[in-house]
Amino acid sequence: MDKRHLMFSGKLAYTVLLAMTAAQANDSTGYIGTGGVEYLKNKNISMHSEDLYISKDKIRVNYEFKNLSNKDITETVLFPMPAVPSSTDSDFADINATYDNFEVWINGKPIIPNQHVRIFMRPIVVKDGDRTYADTSIDTTEIFKSCGLNEADMMGPWTYQVDTEYVNQQLLDCNNKALDRFIYDRESLYIPWDSQVIYSWEQKFKANATTKIKHSYTPLVGGSVHLGEEQFPDFCVDSSTQRGFHKGGGRPYHALSYILTTGANWAKPISNFKLTVERDPNELVSFCWKGKGKVKKVSATTFEIKETNFVPTHDFDVAFIMK
């Protein structure tokens, strides 16, 4: 029996759980990417099909995986939600809507995945003679635990049930010297850290058989009062949509990002890929697509893309723009 790890990942994905870092959003929007599939390579497992539905309110994915071997293969499946900062601006994604609504079905039967939380902090480094935060975060979950903080405390940015200042004060009062690498000013309650919720379960892929996995969740959706010319290339806003904007050059919008490129890590290309994007009736929708498939409008509010033998080479960013 072959036992490895399968990972459904957020905006930035790494093959080691402890190395996962936060995916930071564009300063003007506050949205965080989510979704996607990353696989720690197993030449005997292929993704036969992926049926992906995206709206502001729901992401729903149906996968069919094929075990190409004559032996059962058991994998540890990980779904890390994007890491979110302990302090956020007012236009940041609605984290409360996303927390605790991740659902999984295996061959049509619901399962309850395990839930974990990890903490990430950026160490203090010296650049050009000045102290600043490093670009890459480090897993500091065990440091938090050593300071008496439990999972409920560490999930405060998701649940809003624990005040960030309480957690930061616990860190300031903690005598763990390892914290010196991460606290810039011990006279200040401002201590940046990120919290990541991760779901996991054990999955058996039966020999020479297809396994169907479905998951559904509310995405982290952010936005801004103004979608201006500087964001047009990110979402491939066409000229007709631009002409429909007010003279001020922008409109309120929501946005989300979904990682597709890790779908290229499987044993074969994705035989059948389908992407459905649905907007509200009072919205315009705009996104880039670099695959061979054509974007089709299948209803007044729904757009569809189909690909065969699909190897994703780009991720997916979509803007829902108020009319």
Query: Under CATH, which number does the domain 2-118+198-322 receive?
Result: 2.60.40.3680
- CB burial of 222-240 (b: ≥16 within 10 Å; e: otherwise) equals bbbeebeeebbebbebeee
Q: Are 52 and 318 in contact (CB under 8 A)?
A: no
* pLDDT number for residue 165: 93
Q: What mean pLDDT is predicted for residues 194-219? A: 90
What band does 28 get if pLDDT is binned at 50, 70 and 90?
Answer: very low
The model's pLDDT over 106-146, given as tens digits with 9 standing for 90+, comes to 999 999 988 888 899 999 999 888 899 999 999 999 999 99
Q: What mean pLDDT is predicted for residues 186-195? A: 92
**Averaged pLDDT of the chain:** 80
Residues 6+ apart with CB under 8 A from 57: 218
The model's pLDDT over 39-85, given as tens digits with 9 standing for 90+, comes to 456 688 888 999 999 999 999 999 999 999 999 998 877 777 778 88
* pLDDT number for residue 222: 74
Residue with tokens 């990890």: 118
Whether residue 229 is predicted with pLDDT greater than 90 in this model: the reply is no
The model's pLDDT over 305-321, given as tens digits with 9 standing for 90+, comes to 999 999 888 888 898 98
Q: Any bridge partners for residue 144, and if so which?
A: none
Q: Domains of the chain: which residue ranges?
A: 2-118+198-322
Cα 42 off chain centre by: 23
As a whole number of angstroms, the distance between CA 156 and CA 118 comes to 12
DSSP 3-state of 142:
helix
* pLDDT number for residue 39: 42
DSSP 3-state of 146:
helix
Residues 6+ apart with CB under 8 A from 26: 231, 234
> Residue 34's closest CA among 260, 294, 304?
260
